[in-house]
Amino acid sequence: MLGKMIPAGAPGIVQALKTNTHEIAPLFHYLLKPVALLAYVLSVWRLGADLNWTGEFFISRGLLSHWQVWLALAIATQATAAHLAPKAAEHDDIILP
């Protein structure tokens, strides 16, 4: 699909997108780990609120008021970070000198 959107005479654009993706993979890898941890904490907090173990959860209505949604987001975020780990290891010197 991406090949159809980019004009045939612009191979440099495709190469630039591939290069930039590999350069920012370490950044996303390191930023997604705390985001996943936060989502895990929010899912446990919401579960505790449902069981009356903790205080009231700050989102009382809507899609994000369910602990299952927070747990699914945490798992998806952690899986994405794990998928980016090999790319991040290759280009670790870009972020960490």
Question: Is the entire prediction scored with pTM above 0.75?
Answer: no
CA distance 87 to 29: 9
CA distance 63 to 61: 7
Residue linked to tokens 């790319």: 87
CA distance 82 to 76: 10
DSSP 8-state code for residue 8: T
> Could you give the dihedral angle defined by the CA atoms of residues 11, 3, 83 and 21, in that order, rounded to the nearest 10 degrees?
30
Per-residue pLDDT of the chain (97 residues; tens, 9 = 90+): 445 555 555 566 566 556 666 677 778 888 999 999 999 999 999 999 999 999 999 998 999 999 999 999 999 999 998 888 877 666 555 555 5
> Could you give the dihedral angle defined by the CA atoms of residues 15, 16, 21 and 26, in that order, rounded to the nearest 10 degrees?
120
